[in-house]
Amino acid sequence: MTTAITPPRTTHTPTPHTTPPPTPLTTTVPRQLVHRAAHAEVLLTSYRQTTPDHHTITAQWPRNHPFYHPVNHHHDPLLLIETIRQTIPLLTHTTYNAPLDHKQIWKTLTLTIHHPHHLKTTPTPPHIEIHTTTTHITHHRNTPHTIHLTYTITKDHQPLATATTQYTNHSPTIYHRIRQPHHPTTHTPTPPPTTLNPTHLNRTNPHDIVLTTTPHPHTYLLRTDTTHPTLYDHPTDHTPGMLLLEAARQATHHQHHPTPHTITHLTTTFHHYTEHHTPTHIHTTTQPHPTQPHTHTTTTHTTQNHTTTTTTTITTTHP
């Protein structure tokens, strides 16, 4: 069990993929297919199944996303991860015919940004093309259960990154059985104040800081703000995976401050659900790369009640 990618409530089954896909960059896919409540948060613009195991998906990034905004004239790597996340429900509900009320549970993610300089911003919104391969799939009662995907991603026709992910898909009955007695929440206690300077975490808006310090070195407390318009686009019954990745990223930047660092690799495993109302700690360790100069690896362990719920390792470089 890990972190589920939960859609807005609906019980409708999507129309089978029988019509030509929309022309890239003229529209977005329906928000229900990527589990977003706000149209403005939908990044994917088209999808096409090229063979039984291969798809081509397009996306358009805003020039300045309100949360995943550019820093130093380069797009946010987590905007790339959110783009990948949106492909999971898209393919599950279309090609693999899972009803829209099914929930996907994220297991693992690995991302390598081979060309970080290709994240540089441009005068127009960038065109993202994603080529996916389904390397493993199992079914339960004619619906997908376990799916493994690999990705090759370009930005404006330039090579950018590769990725892999694994997740499971569950009907409402099974998901309720897994998560009982937890229910979607629209309110949590006010998050604790933070003494961290946003610029020390590669951020500009104090509202976007998801960590606060603790008396222990290299340990932070997660700030859960269910009113955040991006991280909590809709109610969930647990802490979203993208919030946990953002916490790992902010902790990594704080460890390296004031030296600017660029993310080149990220790998994460969601071991268990991270619950809303339980104090969540982020523990970090940073080591230099043994062979690559100016390169460091920061590992974060997200824990609740001394149990690790998520492990993320981020590799960064600096000039």
Are both 157 and 202 inside the same structural domain?
no
**Tokens, residue 311:** 């492990």
Q: Please check whether residue 185 lies inside any domain of the structure.
A: no
129 and 45 co-located in one domain: yes
Tokens 């949106």 label which residue?
86
For residue 112, tell me if it sits in a domain. Answer: yes
pLDDT at 12: 44
Per-residue pLDDT tens for 260-280?
A: 899 999 999 999 999 988 999
Evaluate if residue 151 carries a pLDDT over 90: yes
Expressed as residue numbers, the domain containing 52 is: 3-179
For the chain, state the CA radius of gyration: 19
The tokens describing 25, both together, are 């960059």
Q: Judge whether 103 lies within some domain.
A: yes
As a whole number, mean pLDDT of residues 112-137 equals 97
Q: What is the 3-state secondary structure (H, E, C) of the chain?
A: CCEEECCCCCCCCCCCCCCCCCCCCCCCCCHHHHCCCCHHHCCEEEEEEEECCEEEEEEECCCCCCCCCCECCECCHHHHHHHHHHHHHHHHHCCCCCCCCCEEEEEEEEEEECCHHHHECCCCCCEEEEEEEEEEEEEECCEEEEEEEEEEEEECCEEEEEEEEEEEEECHHHHHHHHCCCCCECCCCCCCCCCCCHHHHCCCCHHHCCEEECCCCCEEEECCCCCCCCCCCCCECCCCHHHHHHHHHHHHHHHHCCCCCEEEEEEEEECCCCCCCCCCEEEEEEEECCCCCCEEEEEEEEEECCEEEEEEEEEEECC
Please give the model's pTM, rounded to 2 decimal places.
0.91
pLDDT of residue 185: 67
Q: For residue range 156-206, what is the model confidence (pLDDT) as tens digits?
A: 999 999 999 999 999 999 999 999 887 776 666 678 788 899 999 999 999
- Residues 141-157, buried b or exposed e (16+ Cβ, 10 A)? eeebbebbbebebbbee
* Cα of 136 vs its chain's centroid, Å: 21
Q: Is residue 187 a part of any domain in this protein?
A: no
Q: Is 190 contained in some domain?
A: no
Same domain assignment for residues 12 and 114: yes
Same domain, 172 and 221: no
128 and 263 part of one domain: no
Same domain, 137 and 165: yes
End position of a domain, from candidates 113, 144, 179: 179
Enumerate the β-bridge partners of residue 147.
Answer: 137, 167
Q: Which residues of 81-114 are buried (b: 16+ CB within 10 A; e: fewer)?
A: bbbbbbbbbbbbbbbbebbbebbbbbbebbbebe
Domain end: 128, 152, 179, which one?
179
31 and 59 inside one domain? yes
* Domain of residue 104, CATH code: 3.10.129.10
Q: Is position 227 within any domain?
A: yes
Note whether 105 and 204 are same-domain residues: no
pLDDT band at residue 25 under the 50/70/90 scheme: low
Statement: residue 8 has pLDDT above 60: no
Smallest CA-to-CA distance from 105 within 245, 248, 270 is with 270
Cα(12)–Cα(20) distance, integer angstroms: 21
Q: How many domains does the chain have?
A: 2
157 and 17 in a single domain? The answer is yes
Q: What percent of the chain has pLDDT over 70?
A: 90
104 is a domain residue:
yes
